Amino acid sequence: MTAIIKDIEPVWLHPTADGMAFSTGGDEEVAEVYLRVIIEASDREEWGIDEIQMITFSTEFYKSETETQTRSREFVHVLEGEFSSQAMSYLYRIHGDTLQDAVNLEILEDGETVGGYEPLRASDVVDCGRGV
Protein backbone atom coordinates (compact mmCIF):
# COMPACT_ATOMS: atom_id res chain seq x y z
CA MET A 1 0.00 0.00 0.00
CA THR A 2 1.08 3.53 -0.75
CA ALA A 3 -0.01 6.55 1.31
CA ILE A 4 -0.81 9.57 -0.82
CA ILE A 5 -1.36 12.95 0.81
CA LYS A 6 -3.71 15.37 -0.95
CA ASP A 7 -4.68 18.83 0.33
CA ILE A 8 -8.23 19.97 -0.47
CA GLU A 9 -8.75 23.69 -0.08
CA PRO A 10 -10.96 25.50 0.69
CA VAL A 11 -14.02 23.61 1.90
CA TRP A 12 -16.99 25.43 3.39
CA LEU A 13 -19.08 24.47 6.40
CA HIS A 14 -22.56 25.63 7.37
CA PRO A 15 -24.56 25.22 10.60
CA THR A 16 -27.34 22.65 10.91
CA ALA A 17 -29.57 21.54 13.77
CA ASP A 18 -27.07 18.71 14.45
CA GLY A 19 -23.92 20.85 14.23
CA MET A 20 -21.72 21.86 11.31
CA ALA A 21 -22.04 20.18 7.91
CA PHE A 22 -20.03 20.32 4.70
CA SER A 23 -21.56 22.73 2.19
CA THR A 24 -22.51 21.88 -1.35
CA GLY A 25 -24.08 24.19 -3.90
CA GLY A 26 -26.90 26.29 -2.44
CA ASP A 27 -25.99 25.82 1.23
CA GLU A 28 -25.20 28.81 3.41
CA GLU A 29 -21.41 28.92 3.55
CA VAL A 30 -20.22 30.18 6.94
CA ALA A 31 -16.75 28.83 7.76
CA GLU A 32 -13.89 28.08 5.38
CA VAL A 33 -11.64 25.13 6.30
CA TYR A 34 -8.83 23.18 4.69
CA LEU A 35 -8.75 19.39 4.57
CA ARG A 36 -5.80 17.05 4.12
CA VAL A 37 -6.65 13.56 2.92
CA ILE A 38 -4.42 10.52 3.35
CA ILE A 39 -5.28 7.97 0.69
CA GLU A 40 -4.21 4.33 0.91
CA ALA A 41 -3.73 2.89 -2.58
CA SER A 42 -2.44 -0.42 -3.89
CA ASP A 43 -3.06 0.51 -7.52
CA ARG A 44 -5.09 3.01 -9.54
CA GLU A 45 -8.37 1.15 -9.02
CA GLU A 46 -7.90 -0.05 -5.44
CA TRP A 47 -7.73 3.00 -3.18
CA GLY A 48 -9.63 4.63 -0.35
CA ILE A 49 -9.48 7.43 2.17
CA ASP A 50 -7.57 6.31 5.25
CA GLU A 51 -7.58 9.52 7.30
CA ILE A 52 -8.92 13.06 7.05
CA GLN A 53 -7.27 15.98 8.79
CA MET A 54 -8.63 19.49 9.22
CA ILE A 55 -5.88 22.07 8.91
CA THR A 56 -6.05 25.40 10.74
CA PHE A 57 -3.57 28.24 10.65
CA SER A 58 -2.40 30.83 13.12
CA THR A 59 -0.23 33.89 12.58
CA GLU A 60 1.82 35.41 15.35
CA PHE A 61 3.24 38.92 15.20
CA TYR A 62 6.52 39.91 16.86
CA LYS A 63 7.48 43.54 17.22
CA SER A 64 11.03 44.71 17.65
CA GLU A 65 12.28 48.27 17.78
CA THR A 66 12.85 48.35 14.02
CA GLU A 67 10.36 45.98 12.42
CA THR A 68 7.40 43.68 12.80
CA GLN A 69 7.91 40.00 12.02
CA THR A 70 5.30 37.30 11.54
CA ARG A 71 5.33 33.55 11.94
CA SER A 72 2.66 31.23 10.60
CA ARG A 73 1.80 27.97 12.31
CA GLU A 74 -0.15 25.02 10.92
CA PHE A 75 -2.23 22.86 13.24
CA VAL A 76 -3.44 19.39 12.26
CA HIS A 77 -6.71 18.04 13.69
CA VAL A 78 -7.56 14.42 12.82
CA LEU A 79 -11.29 14.05 12.20
CA GLU A 80 -13.03 11.27 14.10
CA GLY A 81 -16.47 9.75 14.55
CA GLU A 82 -19.55 11.01 12.75
CA PHE A 83 -17.86 14.17 11.48
CA SER A 84 -15.13 12.04 9.87
CA SER A 85 -17.77 9.86 8.18
CA GLN A 86 -19.58 12.94 6.93
CA ALA A 87 -16.29 14.38 5.61
CA MET A 88 -15.43 11.11 3.87
CA SER A 89 -18.83 10.95 2.16
CA TYR A 90 -18.49 14.59 1.11
CA LEU A 91 -14.97 14.07 -0.30
CA TYR A 92 -15.91 10.98 -2.31
CA ARG A 93 -18.99 12.75 -3.69
CA ILE A 94 -17.58 16.22 -4.44
CA HIS A 95 -13.81 15.65 -4.81
CA GLY A 96 -13.71 12.05 -6.04
CA ASP A 97 -12.17 13.05 -9.38
CA THR A 98 -9.50 15.13 -7.64
CA LEU A 99 -8.61 12.20 -5.38
CA GLN A 100 -8.49 9.82 -8.36
CA ASP A 101 -6.15 12.25 -10.15
CA ALA A 102 -3.85 12.28 -7.10
CA VAL A 103 -3.74 8.46 -7.16
CA ASN A 104 -3.09 8.44 -10.91
CA LEU A 105 -0.21 10.90 -10.53
CA GLU A 106 1.43 8.83 -7.80
CA ILE A 107 0.88 5.27 -9.03
CA LEU A 108 1.80 4.12 -12.53
CA GLU A 109 -0.48 1.80 -14.49
CA ASP A 110 1.66 -1.23 -13.59
CA GLY A 111 1.26 -0.46 -9.86
CA GLU A 112 4.77 0.96 -9.39
CA THR A 113 5.08 4.27 -7.61
CA VAL A 114 6.42 7.34 -9.39
CA GLY A 115 10.20 7.61 -9.18
CA GLY A 116 10.61 4.01 -8.01
CA TYR A 117 10.77 5.04 -4.36
CA GLU A 118 9.79 2.68 -1.58
CA PRO A 119 6.03 3.11 -1.01
CA LEU A 120 5.15 5.37 1.92
CA ARG A 121 3.16 3.72 4.69
CA ALA A 122 0.55 5.59 6.74
CA SER A 123 2.68 4.86 9.84
CA ASP A 124 5.58 6.73 8.15
CA VAL A 125 3.62 9.99 8.03
CA VAL A 126 4.86 12.27 10.79
CA ASP A 127 2.37 14.70 12.28
CA CYS A 128 4.52 17.79 12.74
CA GLY A 129 1.74 20.34 12.66
CA ARG A 130 0.88 20.39 16.35
CA GLY A 131 2.46 23.42 17.92
CA VAL A 132 5.32 23.65 15.44
Q: What residues make up the domain containing 60?
A: 2-115
**What are all long-range contacts of 19-24, with beta carbons under 8 Å and residues at least 24 apart?**
19/83, 20/83, 21/86, 22/86, 22/87, 22/90, 22/94, 24/90, 24/94
- Please check whether residue 73 lies inside any domain of the structure: yes
Q: What is the pLDDT of residues 17-69, one digit of tens each?
A: 888 889 887 777 888 899 999 999 988 999 999 999 999 888 888 888 888 88
| 132 located within any domain | no
pLDDT band at 130 (very low <50, low <70, confident <90, very high): very low
71 lies in some domain: yes
In a domain, 130, yes or no: no
pTM flag (> 0.85): no
In a domain, 45, yes or no: yes
